[in-house]
Structure 1
Amino acid sequence: MLDAVSLTCKRGQRRVFSELSLRLEAGQCILVSGPNGSGKTSLLRILANIAQADEGQLIWRDRPVQSNDSDYRQQLVYGGHASGLNGSLSVQENLDSLLMQDRVPLERDACDQALLAGSLLAYRRVPVRQLSAGQRRRVFLVRLALSNRPLWILDEQLTALDSAGQKFLGELIAQHLQKQGAVILTSHQTLPWDLEVQHLDLGQAC
């Protein structure tokens, strides 16, 4: 599904990682680990085509990924440290905007079910700025539940989630993999799910 070939990332004169290659298959989940500063977020941003590697290439389904490749970006959902939500809009308004961006037809019943699963149905009209950090994270998880994009790139999405939120995320990932989607993620925490996960340790890869 996705090949990263000989990626090199620099910060100033320092090489964060070099000659890094990976292959992400359909139905596969890769957990990227490593100490602070080893380049976990940098790698995920490169894989999401938000940042560019100093050297190397991405190949998506046998096609080279170009800089600012809109066709490739339409195949993925990226979840970073920031929520990416508009605090002045309600939960539902944010979801409507995100689903439009994802080119997902708005089906109210499906949206209601996802909000219910994410424990947000009662908050759908509440401005996002009034939500806790964990609830904001859950809004993104509801977006994942409704997304039809095959590649999920998730950076520290367990942060701020309680046990129920972590379970919700684990269920979403399991369902996505069963549908032959692919996931690459980072986490400082031990993953609390019984999933088959491949490991990439940047502390060893650097």
Structure 2
Amino acid sequence: MQELCVWPDGSFRTGRPLLNAVGLGCERNQRRLFNDVSFGLAAGDMLRIIGPNGSGKSSLLRLLCGLARPAEGHVELFGEALAGQPGALASRLLWIGHAPGVKALLTVEENLSWLAALHGRDAIVAVERAIVAVGLRGFEDTRCHALSAGQQRRVALARLYLPGAPMLWLLDEPFAALDRAGTAQLEAHLAMHCERGGTVVLTTHHELTRRTQAYAVLDLGQYAT
């Protein structure tokens, strides 16, 4: 029997929920940002989170990946409470924050080799392919502090091209600082990931031109206190 996933618009979809948000409330600096946010996402789903500045978009992503605790409600990942599986999160989801999150004094190749090694991957082959995929061939030995903001973003996004990446991707403003070609490439890659059974949750002010069939939008402005 298939389970029902509640989407932000109140509709239902069939499919086993991979990620569940149940009645989430969030506070920051003693101010309530949103209340009673609930949704379920299955394999192949893409959820875009929108809302005005300060509505809690980044905060919601941090709740979904376990970097912060909700004021109310809870998050479930693969049917289990997120709070009860901290040791497994690195292998179950991939989080890329608004900041590039790269080590400035390391080269492009060193940054990605370190990330690949954390997951026991064949670092040499995997990193070479990821660098090519994000258009940074020729910059392998460049220290990241010498890269442009857009190039640093590409280094961060190269994690999405490493083999064996988790199926759940949580991305905070992934299109920030990317040029038109980089934006188009990332849109295509996110859509392909969902078509292969992956799940994507992202915040972005960018209007997606390439969407998966299972696509929904969550407007946090509707949940403000």
Tell me, in whole angstroms, the C-alpha distance in 1 between the residues paired with 2:195 and 2:183.
18
Corresponding residue SS for 1:36: coil
Q: Which residue of 1 aligns with 2:212?
A: 195
Provide Cα deviations, 1:107-164, integer angstroms capped at 9, x if missing partner. 51x4323322211010011101110000011112211111521110000111100011
- Report the equivalent of 1:106: 123
Residue 107 of structure 2 corresponds to 90
Question: What does residue 137 of structure 1 align with?
Answer: 153
Deviation at 1:193, TM superposition (A): 2.3
Task: Give 1:117's aligned amino acid.
Answer: A
Retained in 1: the 8 A contact 2:47–2:202? Answer: yes
Q: CA deviation at 1:190?
A: 1.3
User: In the TM superposition, what is the alpha-carbon distance from 1:103 to its structure 2 partner?
Assistant: 3.6
Q: Which has the larger displacement, 173-182 or 155-164?
A: 173-182
Deviates further, 150-159 or 113-122: 113-122
User: In 1, are the aligned partners of 2:104 and 2:145 still within 8 Å (CA)?
Assistant: yes
The equivalent position to 1:118 in structure 2, one of 112, 127, 134, is 134
In structure 2, distance between residues paired with 1:125 and 1:12:
41
Task: Tell whether 2:199 aligns with 1:182.
Answer: yes
Answer yes or no: is the 8 Å Cα contact 1:60–1:72 preserved in 2.
no
Q: Which has the larger displacement, 17-26 or 63-72? A: 63-72
Question: 1:24 aligns to what?
Answer: 41
Q: CA deviation at 1:82?
A: 1.3
- How far apart are the structure 2 equivalents of 1:19 and 1:43? 12
Q: AA paired with 2:149?
A: A
TM-score normalised per structure 2: 0.86
Question: Which letter maps to 1:198?
Answer: A
Give CA deviations for 1:13-59 in whole Å, capped at 9, x if unaligned.
Answer: 42211111111111110000000111100000110111111111111
The answer to whether the aligner puts 1:164 opposite 2:181 as a matched pair is yes
* Contact 1:76 1:151 (C-alpha < 8 Å) held by counterparts: yes
**Larger relative CO (CA 8 A, sep 6+): 1 or 2?**
1
Report SS of the residue matched to 2:155: helix
Other-structure match for 1:71: 88
TM-score, structure 1 as length reference: 0.93
Tell me if structure 2 keeps the 8 A contact 1:49–1:68: no
Report if the CA contact (8 A) 2:191-2:211 is conserved.
Answer: no
1:5 to 22, 29, 33: 22
- Conserved? CA contact 1:50–1:68, under 8 Å: no
Rounded Cα–Cα distance in structure 2 between residues aligned with 1:192 and 1:131? 28
For 1:50, the equivalent position in structure 2 comes to: 67
Q: Could you say which residue in structure 2 is the equivalent of 1:152? A: 169
